[in-house]
Amino acid sequence: MNLLEIIQTRRSVRKYQPTEVEQEKLDYILECARLAPSAVNFQPWQFYIVKSQEAKENLFECYHNKWFSTNPAPVFIIACGDKNASWKRKSDSKDHLDIDIAIAFEHICLAATEQGLGTCWVCNFDMEKVVSFLGLPENMIPVAITPLGYPEVEEVKKTPRKEKEEICMVI
Ligand SMILES: Cc1cc2nc3c(=O)[nH]c(=O)nc-3n(C[C@H](O)[C@H](O)[C@H](O)COP(=O)(O)O)c2cc1C
């Protein structure tokens, strides 16, 4: 698949097969995250790979949406950002932490698609619960979570997008 085909194929997958994710595929996906660009190349991220049943049970308590724990993925990735390590723009102190994490996280999603795996961005989790479950220090913020696994084979609904003319202005 070329990049456009990977982007066209990616969907939010909310139902998974229990089949394990091969270690080589997981390594490949994490390498794609590691190589992501970041402001001033500060790389203010850490990725928690949730594999054990005990850790998954804890994670399910952090996001009470039925799909998350029904037909769950065999692996989950939690992307966290270090507030002390991110670039803040001098002129207005804007923190670029979320942008950096989002780029790396979408690398994960696209790499997973290329490998035949599904993902789903999850940000609507209970922040306090994730912090306590991972035992994060004050400077570390959980930004996004995704399940990772082989999609349960069923037609995943295609979501609409705005037309190019609505979103692009040539000036
Ligand atoms: C920043 C962000 C946060 C999201 N948070 C959630 C979430 O908490 N729960 C969920 O089920 N989907 C979540 N999504 C998935 C979106 O609903 C989904 O990407 C969007 O509807 C487009 O569908 P598609 O991913 O299948 O193309 C999130 C997506 C993004 C980019």
Q: Looking at residue 78, which CATH number applies to its domain? A: 3.40.109.10
Is 35 near ligand 1, meaning CB less than 6 Å away?
no
| DSSP for 29-72, written as a single string | HHHHHHT---GGG---EEEEEE-SHHHHHHHHTT---HHHHSS-
Q: How confident is the model at residue 157 (pLDDT cuts 50, 70, 90)?
A: confident
Number of domains comprising the chain: 1
Q: Is the pLDDT of residue 153 over 90?
A: no
At 31-83, the pLDDT tens digits run 999 999 999 999 999 999 999 999 999 999 999 999 999 999 999 999 999 99
Quote the mean pLDDT of the chain. 97
Is 126 near ligand 1, meaning CB less than 6 Å away?
no
CB 128 within 8 A of CB 23: no
Q: How confident is the model at residue 26 (pLDDT cuts 50, 70, 90)?
A: very high
Q: Which position has the higher pLDDT, 157 or 14?
A: 14
Range of the domain at 12: 3-167
At 97-139, the pLDDT tens digits run 999 999 999 999 999 999 999 999 999 999 999 999 999 999 9
CA of 146 to the centre of ligand 1 (A): 10
Structure-token pair, residue 120:
């789903």
